[in-house]
C-alpha cells in the first residue's frame, strides 16, 4: 500500500508526464502529416501512369483530408498517453522507498526503469535490423532487375502507337497501304537506322495470347496446350528492336497474303514444340488462322511484360510472330531505332505520319528506355519505401542508444568520478560506457535476425535473382548496424571520459 501523500504526488506526476508526452506526440504527428503530404506527391512521380497494368489505381488522387488528419490526431494522442503513462506507472509500482533504495547514494538509475529503457532500445535496434535487411534485399533485387537482359536493346529507340479507324481502314489492303507508306517515310528520315511495327509492344503492358501446336503432333486430350504471346510484325521489326535472329531468316516483303504462310518463333517456344528436332521448316498451327504456317526462323526470347511482371502466360518469353501483311491489325506500335536521342526525332516522325494520313495522331510517344524504367516502378517504389523506413528505424535506434547511454552516464557521474580518482584512465571510462551500448546491440541482434528471416519470406514475390536468406545481405547488415551503434555510443562515452573527477564527486 502506498501512502495517500505518495498517491497524490503520483497523480500530479502522471498529469505532468502526460501533458509533456502528448504535446511532444502532437508535434510529431503534425510533422508526420507534412511529410505524408510531400510523400503522397512524390509517389505519383515514382509510379507510372501510362501503363495500366503497372500503375496503382487512382494513385494520383491520394488524399490528405480530414480522415488522415483525424487518424494522425488519434494516433498521436494514443502514443502520447501510452508513453507518458509508462514511466509514471513504473514509479507507482516501485514506490518511493524502493526507488530511493535502488538509486542509492551513487545516484545509479533504478533497475526497473533501466530495464524498461533498455528494452525499448533493444526493440528499436531489432526493428532497424529487420527493415535494413529487407531494404538490402530489395536493393540487390532491383540492381539485378536493372541489369537483366530483356532480350532486346532498348537504347536509342523511339516508340509510339496509332490506331487505324475502321470507317477508314476497313479493308486489309488499306491497312497494309498505310503501314508500308508510313514505314517507308520513317526509314528515310535522317538519323533513323531502322523502323518496324508490332501489335503488342514489349513492356507496354498490352499483350495477347493464342494457342499454338505442332500440326504433326496434335495436342492430346487432357494435355496442357501452349498459349504464347503473339504479335503481327513488319519485316524490319527485329532489327529495329535489336532482337537477335538465331536460326533461319526474318520476314521480307515477299511474305504477303499471296505468298507462303509463315511464322517466326521465340527460342523458348521452339524448344517447347520441338525439344530435340530442328524447328525451321516445320509447320505450326496458330489459333485464328485457317492454314498452318511454316516456321522460317527462330529469334531470341523477349520478356514481353518485363523481368518483374510474368503476366498471365505460362512463359512470358514464349512468343509467335506472324508477318503484318498476312495478319493485319488496326493497332500499330511503331519502333524507330535512331543514331542519337530518340525523342529528338519525335516531331519529324509526327510530320511523316501526318503526311500519310493527316487525321492520324501519335499516342504514348516515349523512348524504350522510359518504358523499361516504368516497368520497374513498383519495385523501385517498394525499394525506396523500405529504404526510407529502414533509415528512420536506424536513426531511431541510434538516438535510443545515445539517449540511454547519455542518461546512464549522467546518473553514474559520481561512480565515474570515483573510478577516475582511483586511477581509471580515459580508455577505461570509454570502454565502460561503450560496453553498455554494445551489450544492448548484441542482445538485439538475435531477435532482429530472427525477425529478418521471417519478414524476408514475405518479400519472396518481389525479389528477382536474390534468395530471401541471401548470405551477403545477412552478413553486411549487422556489421552496418553495429557500426552505427558504436558511433552512437562514442559521443556519450567521450563526454563521460572527459569528466573532471573533483566536479564529478561534488555532483548531486
282-311 residue pLDDT tens: 999 998 888 889 999 999 999 887 776 544
The residue behind cell 525506396 is 384
Q: Tell me, what's the pLDDT at 251?
A: 92
More confident residue, 480 or 8: 480
The yes-or-no verdict on residue 321 having pLDDT over 90 is: yes
Q: Does the pLDDT value for residue 109 go beyond 50?
A: no
Task: Specify the pLDDT at position 7.
Answer: 52
Query: What's the whole-number mean pLDDT along residues 146-172?
Result: 88
Contact in structure between 92 and 10 (CB atoms under 8 Å):
yes
460, 382 contact by CB (below 8 A): no
How high is the pLDDT of residue 162?
92
Could you give the C-alpha distances from 6 to 83, 88, 100, 180, 461, in angstroms and in order? 21, 12, 14, 94, 57
Taking only the tens place, the pLDDT of each residue in 174-203 is 999 999 999 999 999 998 999 999 999 998
> What are the counts of helices (DSSP H) followed by strands (DSSP E) for the chain?
13, 11
pLDDT at 223: 47
The ranges assigned to domains in the chain are 1-103, 109-150+373-508, 165-359
Angstrom distances, CA of residue 244 to CA of 240, 241, 254, 270, 482: 11, 9, 21, 15, 49
Ramachandran quadrant class, 465 (left: phi over 0; alpha: psi -120 to 50; beta: rest): left
Cα separation, 39 vs 293, in Å, equals: 53
Q: Long-range pairs for 289-293 at CB < 8 Å and ≥24 separation?
A: 289/261, 289/322, 289/327, 291/261, 292/215, 292/261, 293/261, 293/262, 293/263, 293/322
Is residue 130 a contact partner of residue 451, using CB atoms and an 8 Å limit?
A: yes
Rounded to an integer, what distance in angstroms lies between the CA atom of residue 251 and that of residue 236?
8
320 membership: H or E segment, kind and range? strand 319-323
Provide mean pLDDT across the span 136-158. Answer: 86
User: Is the torsion defined by CA of 251, 257, 258, 261 positive or negative?
Assistant: positive
Sign of dihedral through CA atoms 481, 484, 488, 491?
Answer: positive
pLDDT of residue 219: 52
Angle CA 363–367–371, to nearest 5: 85
Q: Mean pLDDT, to the nearest integer, of 461-482?
A: 86
Condensed to tens digits (0 to 9), the pLDDT of residues 65-97 reads: 777 778 878 888 888 777 777 666 665 555 555
Residue 113 binned pLDDT confidence (cut-offs 50, 70, 90):
low
For range 480-485, the mean pLDDT: 87
Worst-scoring range by mean pLDDT, 70-79, 230-239, 307-316? 307-316
Question: pLDDT confidence of 220, banded at 50, 70, 90?
Answer: low
Q: What is the pTM of this model?
A: 0.70
pLDDT score, position 487: 85
* Strand-pair category, 293-299 with 262-266: parallel
Quote the percentage of the chain above a pLDDT of 70: 79
Amino acid at each position: 500500500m502506498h501512502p495517500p501523500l505518495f498517491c497524490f504526488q503520483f497523480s500530479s506526476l502522471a498529469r505532468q508526464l502526460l501533458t509533456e508526452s502528448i504535446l511532444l506526440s502532437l508535434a510529431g504527428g503534425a510533422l508526420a502529416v507534412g511529410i505524408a503530404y510531400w510523400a503522397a506527391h512524390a509517389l505519383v512521380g515514382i509510379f507510372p501512369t501510362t501503363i495500366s497494368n503497372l500503375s496503382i489505381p487512382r494513385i494520383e488522387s491520394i488524399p490528405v483530408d480530414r480522415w488522415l488528419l483525424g487518424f494522425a490526431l488519434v494516433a498521436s494522442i494514443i502514443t502520447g498517453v501510452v508513453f507518458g503513462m509508462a514511466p509514471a506507472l513504473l514509479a507507482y509500482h516501485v514506490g518511493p522507498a524502493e526507488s530511493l533504495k535502488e538509486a542509492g547514494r551513487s545516484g545509479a538509475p533504478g533497475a526497473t526503469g533501466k530495464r524498461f529503457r533498455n528494452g525499448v532500445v533493444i526493440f528499436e535496434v531489432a526493428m532497424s535490423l529487420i527493415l535494413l535487411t529487407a531494404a538490402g534485399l530489395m536493393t540487390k533485387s532491383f540492381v539485378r532487375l536493372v541489369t537483366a537482359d530483356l532480350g532486346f536493346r532498348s537504347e536509342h529507340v523511339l516508340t509510339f502507337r496509332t490506331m487505324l479507324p475502321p470507317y477508314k481502314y476497313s479493308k486489309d489492303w488499306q491497312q497494309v497501304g498505310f503501314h508500308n507508306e508510313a514505314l517507308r517515310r520513317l526509314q528515310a528520315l535522317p538519323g533513323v537506322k531502322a523502323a518496324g511495327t508490332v501489335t503488342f509492344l514489349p513492356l507496354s503492358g498490352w499483350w495477347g495470347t493464342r494457342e499454338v501446336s505442332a500440326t504433326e503432333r496434335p495436342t492430346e486430350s487432357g494435355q496442357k496446350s501452349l498459349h504464347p504471346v503473339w504479335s503481327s510484325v513488319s519485316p524490319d521489326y527485329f532489327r529495329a528492336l535489336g532482337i537477335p535472329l538465331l536460326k533461319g531468316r526474318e520476314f521480307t516483303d515477299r511474305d504477303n497474303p499471296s505468298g507462303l504462310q509463315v511464322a517466326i518463333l521465340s527460342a523458348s517456344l521452339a524448344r517447347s514444340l520441338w525439344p530435340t528436332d530442328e524447328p525451321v521448316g516445320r509447320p505450326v498451327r496458330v489459333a485464328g488462322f485457317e492454314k498452318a504456317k511454316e516456321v522460317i526462323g527462330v529469334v531470341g526470347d523477349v520478356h514481353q511484360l518485363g523481368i518483374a511482371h510474368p503476366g498471365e502466360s505460362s512463359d512470358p518469353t514464349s512468343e509467335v510472330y506472324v508477318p503484318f501483311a498476312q495478319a493485319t491489325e488496326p493497332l500499330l506500335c511503331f519502333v524507330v531505332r535512331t543514331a542519337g536521342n530518340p525523342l529528338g526525332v519525335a516531331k519529324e516522325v509526327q510530320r511523316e505520319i501526318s503526311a500519310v494520313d493527316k487525321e492520324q495522331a501519335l499516342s504514348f510517344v516515349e523512348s524504350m528506355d522510359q518504358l523499361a524504367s516504368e516497368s520497374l516502378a513498383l519495385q523501385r517504389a517498394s525499394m525506396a519505401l523500405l529504404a526510407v523506413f529502414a533509415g528512420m528505424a536506424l536513426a531511431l535506434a541510434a538516438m535510443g542508444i545515445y539517449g540511454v547511454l547519455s542518461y546512464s552516464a549522467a546518473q553514474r557521474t559520481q561512480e565515474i568520478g570515483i573510478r577516475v580518482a582511483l586511477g581509471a584512465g580515459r580508455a577505461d571510462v570509454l570502454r565502460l560506457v561503450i560496453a553498455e551500448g554494445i551489450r544492448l546491440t548484441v542482445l538485439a541482434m538475435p531477435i532482429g535476425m530472427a525477425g529478418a528471416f521471417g519478414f524476408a519470406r514475405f518479400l519472396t514475390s518481389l525479389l528477382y535473382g536474390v534468395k530471401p536468406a541471401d548470405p551477403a545481405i545477412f552478413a553486411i547488415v549487422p556489421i552496418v548496424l553495429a557500426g552505427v551503434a558504436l558511433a552512437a555510443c562514442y559521443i556519450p562515452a567521450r563526454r563521460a571520459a572527459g569528466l573532471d573527477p573533483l566536479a564529478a564527486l561534488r555532483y548531486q
